[in-house]
């Protein structure tokens, strides 16, 4: 549990943690930090040192209050008018039963939405609204969200499956669980770590990156065990 304690302390300080999901799944490492601490320099680190897709997770308690659907459900519903959309919504991934992707958003105060500043604003405001939404009724949260954000945008939202780490154990759920354990807003900002050869960084390469920068590297199994102990 020592690495989990170190990870929780680092996240509370607004620092990065590395999370490897597990053998036989994506077998990828994501660079993550608490969404409430995301800043333009943090986004820059994610896109330069990780290089994958910068996404923001939301716990079930938040995305249910907002009424945020999964993107596959949106496509299937729209497929009544546009059959192509229903056809592409077929989830035939080799590593999981379903995707966590919801909609993409930009904060209404952004310009293009893609700059480090713009994405940091969008993500930090998603986190701030998530914090307040947990203490408010569902109607308030949805209305507040539509006032602040528009879609499509440049920040993909990922809906964590509930109960956390029960049926799905992807980076979305693993990192969200870490935020809950740390007592932070249940929203993580994550980005897959890519290699210069165009493939995902190997676990060993990701571990080396963590050692060089004195960052905590966690296996998905570490988080799962900590979650079971924390929620018992």
User: Active-site residue numbers?
Assistant: 30, 55, 95, 106, 154, 192
Exposed, middle or buried, 87 (CB in 10 Å: 0-12/13-18/19+)? exposed
Please calculate the CA angle 183-141-33 and round it to the nearest 5 degrees.
35
**Sequence-distant (≥ 6) Cβ neighbours of residue 95 within 8 angstroms:** 24, 25, 26
Q: How far apart are CA 157 and CA 56, in angstroms?
A: 5
Q: How many C-beta neighbours within 10 Å does residue 118 have?
A: 21
Q: Distance (Å, rounded) from C-alpha 141 to C-alpha 134?
A: 8
**Is the torsion defined by CA of 105, 106, 112, 114 positive or negative?**
negative
Separation of alpha carbons 109 and 169, rounded Å: 34
Q: Which residues of 129-148 are buried (b: 16+ CB within 10 A; e: fewer)?
A: bbbebeeeeeeebeeebeeb
Contact 38, 205 (CB under 8 A): no
């Amino acid at each position: 549990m020592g690495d989990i304690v170190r990870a929780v302390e680092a996240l509370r300080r607004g620092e990065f943690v590395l999370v490897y999901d597990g053998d036989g799944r994506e077998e990828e490492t994501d660079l993550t930090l608490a969404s409430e601490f995301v800043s333009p320099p943090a986004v820059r680190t994610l896109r330069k040192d990780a290089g994958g897709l910068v996404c923001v997770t939301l716990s079930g308690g938040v995305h249910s209050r907002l009424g945020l659907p999964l993107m596959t459900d949106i496509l299937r519903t729209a497929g009544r008018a546009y059959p192509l959309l229903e056809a592409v919504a077929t989830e035939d991934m080799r590593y999981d039963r379903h995707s966590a992707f919801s909609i993409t958003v930009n904060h209404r105060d952004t310009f293009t939405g893609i700059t480090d500043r713009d994405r940091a604003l969008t993500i930090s405001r998603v986190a701030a609204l998530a914090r307040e939404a947990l203490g408010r009724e569902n109607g308030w949260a949805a209305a507040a969200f539509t006032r602040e954000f528009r879609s499509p945008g440049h920040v993909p939202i990922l809906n964590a499956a509930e109960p956390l780490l029960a049926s799905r154990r992807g980076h979305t759920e693993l990192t969200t669980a870490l935020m809950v354990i740390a007592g932070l807003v249940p929203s993580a900002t994550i980005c897959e770590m890519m290699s210069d050869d165009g493939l995902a960084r190997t676990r060993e390469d990701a571990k080396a990156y963590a050692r060089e920068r004195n960052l905590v590297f966690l296996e998905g199994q570490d988080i799962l065990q900590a979650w079971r102990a924390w929620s018992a």
